[in-house]
Amino acid sequence: EEPMKTILVTGGAGFIGSCFVRDVLESDTVRVVNFDALTYAGNRESIPADSDRHVFVRGDIADRDTVTQVFEQYVPDAVVHFAAESHVDRSIDGPDQFIRTNINGTYELLTAARQHFSGLAGDAKAQFRFLHVSTDEVYGAVGAKGYFTETTAYAPSSPYSASKASSDMLVRAWHHTFGLPTLITNCSNNYGPYQFPEKLIPLMTLNAIAGKPLPVYGNGLNVRDWLYVSDHCDAIQTVLKSGHVGETYNIGGNCERTNLDIVHTICRTVNELCSYLPHDCRSLITHVPDRPGHDHRYAIDASKIRDKLGWRPARTFEIAIRDTIQWYLDNPAWTDHMLSGAYRMERLGGASNG
Ligand code: NAD
């Protein structure tokens, strides 16, 4: 019998990483080593308990000794690297942690992976992969027409996207210079369950339910391409299994919406699902000054992953957004714990206020 394969997942307690972990534990027979620092964005309530197939390790990817030790102890067959600071607004308020985690952290992982890879032989060496999860924001803004392809020049606009672009460049270099078998995916905006309520869709959903203002940046006409988080994770599994080493794959939902469209859809859906609410959610929409450096439009051309690897999104926006809103309605405790920090206090052994 073949021994169980091990995937080292970084950032597996965050929004997308936790979805990947839940999905891969269900669809595959691998063991997942989930390496996450549990920043404000990470939550063990988003992932299964420890078992023979899921091992949680709390640690910082920018910490060389811990990273080296994880590779030595668990001998991964593949690395899927999600861990990052991920929120553009936070990167504007304080870029330090973005440089440290996204750039230095990726560098430390690459260094440890290179060392680990050099010690592998045979099938283990042939099959090893380092998959770096990145964003379409590295390409900067695109005009009203046109799409980002895998060969579009990088032109990041925010400290967040600049730090992700830097990490992509390091990953490329580790492939070209050191022969590390890397894969890079650049995906558009994700939405779905377990997303921290600082991001557009959960924030607007929760405010709409609570009767709080729905703050839309500027005129709300910025365009983003949206993809359901499980479809993204499915694409990552596809690239991990069949992607061509050294290459980049764009992942998108072919689903462009203005921010205002998104907020209107949320209002309509919340009005319908919560007919007991005393307010019409549309009356809560308020326009606030635009984010500095706000890119007008992102649009992904995902034809490479579709044509070469046969991946396409399984869910339509209309169905998945409804399910997502329903999930937030059904899981208020998860959100409360995330927002109150109660979860983190319990984790550190402190008292929580219930
Ligand atoms: P998230 O903020 O929800 O989760 C990030 C996770 O990384 C958290 O669990 C956090 O605890 C962990 N982490 C942060 N710093 C760490 C460190 N120094 N060491 C170890 N763990 C650390 O982010 P997300 O939305 O799930 O995004 C995951 C990845 O996908 C990121 O690399 C992001 O750039 C990329 N991405 C996100 C989107 C999106 O729409 N959310 C789209 C495309 C790509």
**Residue pLDDT, tens place only, 316-344:** 999 999 999 999 999 999 999 998 876 55
pLDDT above 70 (res 60): yes
Residues 198/89, Cβ–Cβ less than 8 Å: yes
Specify whether 346 is catalytic: no
Number of neighbouring beta carbons within 10 Å of residue 66: 17
**Distance, CA of 303 to CA of 311 (rounded, Å):** 9
Mean pLDDT of 307-314: 98
Assess whether the C-beta atom of 106 lies below 6 angstroms from ligand 1.
no
Instruction: Decide: 181 in ligand 1 pocket, CB within 6 A.
Output: no
Domains of the chain by start residue, with CATH: 6-193+226-254+297-316 (3.40.50.720)
pLDDT class for 293, splitting at 50, 70, 90? confident
31 by DSSP, 3-state: which?
strand
What pLDDT sits at residue 343? 58
Ramachandran assignment for 229, one of left (phi > 0), alpha (psi -120 to 50 degrees), beta (any other)? alpha
Segment 200-224 mean pLDDT: 95
For residue 54, what is the DSSP state? E
| Percentage of residues in the chain having pLDDT higher than 90 | 91
27 residue type, one letter: S
Atom of ligand 1 nearest to the CA of 60: 19
CA distance 212 to 204: 9
pLDDT over 60 at 353, yes or no = no
Catalytic residue among 36, 136, 168, 295: 136
What is the distance in A from the centroid of ligand 1 to the CA of 214? Answer: 24
Q: Which residues pair with 96 in a beta bridge?
A: none
Gap from CA of 41 to ligand 1 centroid (Å): 8
Instruction: List, in sequence order, every residue forming a beta bridge with 228; answer none if it has no partner.
Output: 191
Tell me whether residue 225 is one of the annotated catalytic residues.
no
Structure tokens at 252: 């998108």
Residue 44 near residue 15, CB atoms below 8 Å:
no
Say how many C-beta atoms besides its own lie within 10 A of residue 85's C-beta: 25
pLDDT over 80 at 220, yes or no: yes
- Is residue 348 predicted with pLDDT exceeding 80? no
**Ligand 1 neighbourhood includes 39 CB (under 6 angstroms):** yes
Average pLDDT over residues 241-249: 98
Q: What is the three-class DSSP state of 9? A: strand
Residue 285's DSSP bridge partners are: 214
Count of all residues that appear for the chain in the document = 354
Q: How far is the CA of 279 from the centre of ligand 1 (A)?
A: 34
Label residue 300 by pLDDT band (50, 70, 90). Answer: very high
How far is the C-alpha of 48 from the C-alpha of 67, rounded, in Å?
22
Q: Which residue's CA is the nearest one to ligand 1's atom 15?
A: 84
Q: Is 136 a residue of the active site?
A: yes
Joined together, the tokens standing for residue 156 give: 């990041």
Long-range contacts of 257-260 (CB under 8 A, 24+ apart): 257/223, 257/224, 257/226, 257/317, 258/220, 258/221, 258/222, 258/223, 259/200, 259/216, 259/217, 259/220, 259/221, 259/222, 259/224, 260/216, 260/219, 260/220, 260/221
Answer yes or no: is the C-beta of 14 below 6 A from any ligand 1 atom. yes
Confidence of residue 1 (pLDDT cuts 50, 70, 90): low
Within the chain, where are the H helices?
15-27, 64-74, 88-93, 96-98, 106-118, 122-127, 159-178, 200-210, 229-242, 259-273, 303-309, 317-330, 332-340, 342-347
Ligand 1 geometric centre to CA of 84 (Å) = 4
Angle ∠(142,145,148) on CA atoms, nearest 5: 45
- C-alpha–C-alpha distance, residues 354 and 344, integer Å: 13
